[in-house]
Chains A and B, each alone.
Chain A
Amino acid sequence: MTKFPESVWWIGGVVATAILLFGATRADLTHLPPESPFDNTRSGHAQQWRFLHQASTHVPAGVTFTIRAAEPDTEMNLYVMAVGLLPQATAIPRTYYGQSVADSSPARFVMTFGDVADDLGGAGRTIAVAGGTVTDLGSPQP
């Protein structure tokens, strides 16, 4: 075996390992153990995940729900995540690929992520969760 080409491989392996370790040390592993699969990705997904996870405990199986957010993209993200996080309820999108879903039937539960103008008119019973609220439009106000 020729020595020089082999050395190049070993140097490459050491350099690639060093680059990997450098990246790993820059990772901000502040949320341990993670509550969501995205806790240390520095993306907004973790916050959205935690909101949905908390909100899901107030939404029973078999009901319909929809999600409101200030940005259409965030609303879409929350909707697609909610399909997996609340599989026993039926998610009704308000926004899908940037388009408002005008003909969506009214949902019993409305999850509101972040600050959104209140157009629910004080209807139903609202519970505060981390990152937003959950409103049950099928229940009378307390």
Chain B
Amino acid sequence: MTTVVFFTATLAVPFLFGLPLLRRSSSCGCSPAAGVAIAWAGGTVILTVLLTMLAALGIPWRPWLVTAIALVAGGVAWRLPASRPPREEKMAQPGWPTLVAAALCTVVASAGLVQLAAGAATSADLSFSWGVKAVRFALDRGMDFQWMQLPHLIHLHPNYPPLWPVSLAWGALAAGSLPWTAVPVVTWVYLVATGVIIHWLLRRPLGSRAAAAIVVVWFAVLTGSAMRSFSGGSAEGPLLLFVTVAVTALVVENRHEAPALRWLAAGALAGAVLTKSEGAVSAGLIVAGTAIRDGLWRRREWALDAARLAAPTVAAAGLWAAVKIAHGLPLTDPIRERALVVTFDHIDVILKVCARLLFDGGLWVGWSAPLVATSMTRDFRPLRALPGLFVAGGLPLFAAVYYLHAEGNPLELIVWTFPRLIQPAVSVWIVSLGVICFGDKDGKGNRA
């Protein structure tokens, strides 16, 4: 029963918060499944902001209060004027690729679900920090900032962004306790939700056949990576969703059309910075890549568009920074290494170990298949995918620089963190090269 209530609270209440987003995405021609996934993920961000603000103001979390606000949000969404979705152009394409893709994705999803539900791919960080914070937040009906500052609790990373522990705490609060064995399954929900959203985003500009091919590679590679890197129950799931959705919404933009999905990308970036510290790195790379691309495309308001894209991210980061300052939490991680104190002797270990882990398991397929396919396209134009390519190259580079800061042998740190850190990188690599491979060749929206 605890598990049922936990899932209901973790899935349904954020969905209610995100209903206005469902209305918005429906007006963009969103598929029902993608709309539900966007509403849930966006609602999780809204719920996190709400609960963080309540905690910062010292107002205890009350399930009835949160549910009431969620119902009001749902009511507001219901009363929003419905806009007519754009007419889908009929694509005379065979149905077999979609069926094959659906079959493969079902196999992948089943294998992933079994492993996560069986506790075969659970992250140790669930019991070391994420779940511990969630349990305590639920017990305290908020964030006990004094408790988070205790000297023998710095392993909880008191400065880390709040989305994942707050999301779990909300479920635990509603259910009465945290069903620890069920938490890894939420990671599976994030994987499936990401696949559903990017399929919709890719299908319109690339066609259902190309979208199906890309999503099959993406889903198999990223599910496999989540299993091998023991990402179950950690914050990798939401981070992967937010970064991948933001990049996909940006790389499917057409040079000669006004961007229609910037709201989705901007919201996803805000979710990324509220999820993990690496989310801010990804967000910075994505905004920079988008601004440079738009500048090279000679879009008139490229700087203003970049500022608009970054605004929710800056607001979300600012909110969490303000909470930390107001309540005396450290701004940086007390157990991490000091910035700019690097040891270049680590380069040898970093290169060898990272190179091996980059291609571990099925990751080599994720890097190589899109590259081989794209190199065979007749008209290679990578500019459109610049936001994704920035992340795909920038995140591993960021990790390497970070490992230079390690005190002592960085081997354990690399093996522990790198397989999870590169998940968003390989994810956006697949999507970005998919768009380059199958995207329109004349930049005017005509598929080749």
Chain A residues with CB under 8 Å of chain B are 1-2, 4-6, 8-17, 19-21, 23-24, 27-29, 31-41, 43, 45-46, 49, 77, 80-81, 83-85, 87-88, 92-93, 96-97, 101
Contact = CB atoms under 8 A, between A and B. Distances in A.
B25 to A, nearest CB: 26
Interface string B82-119: 00000000000000010011001001100110110111
Q: Which A-B residue pairs are the 9 nearest by beta carbons?
A: A12-B369, A84-B132, A13-B216, A16-B220, A34-B119, A40-B120, A8-B373, A9-B213, A19-B362
Nearest to A11: B369
B420 to A, nearest CB: 15
A90 to B, nearest CB: 10
A14 B127 contact: no
A40 B119 contact: yes
Interface in B116-166: 117-122, 124, 126-129, 131-132, 135-136, 139, 152-153, 155-156
A27 B256 CA distance: 50
A92 B243 CA distance: 39
Nearest to A96: B152
B230 A41 contact: yes
Most B CB atoms within 10 A — which of A13, A81, A85, A101?
A: A13
B201 interface: no
B115 A37 contact: no
B107 A21 contact: yes
B374 interface: yes
B361 to A, nearest CB: 6
B386 interface: no
Interface stretch (B62-70, B176-184, B284-292): B176-184
Contacts of A41: 119-122, 230
Contacts of A27: 115, 118, 120
B213 A24 contact: no
Interface stretch (B40-48, B221-229, B306-314): B221-229
A106 to B, nearest CB: 15
Contacts of A29: 114-115, 118, 120
Contact of A12 (B119, B152, B209, B365): B365
A20 B206 CA distance: 27
A15 B362 contact: yes
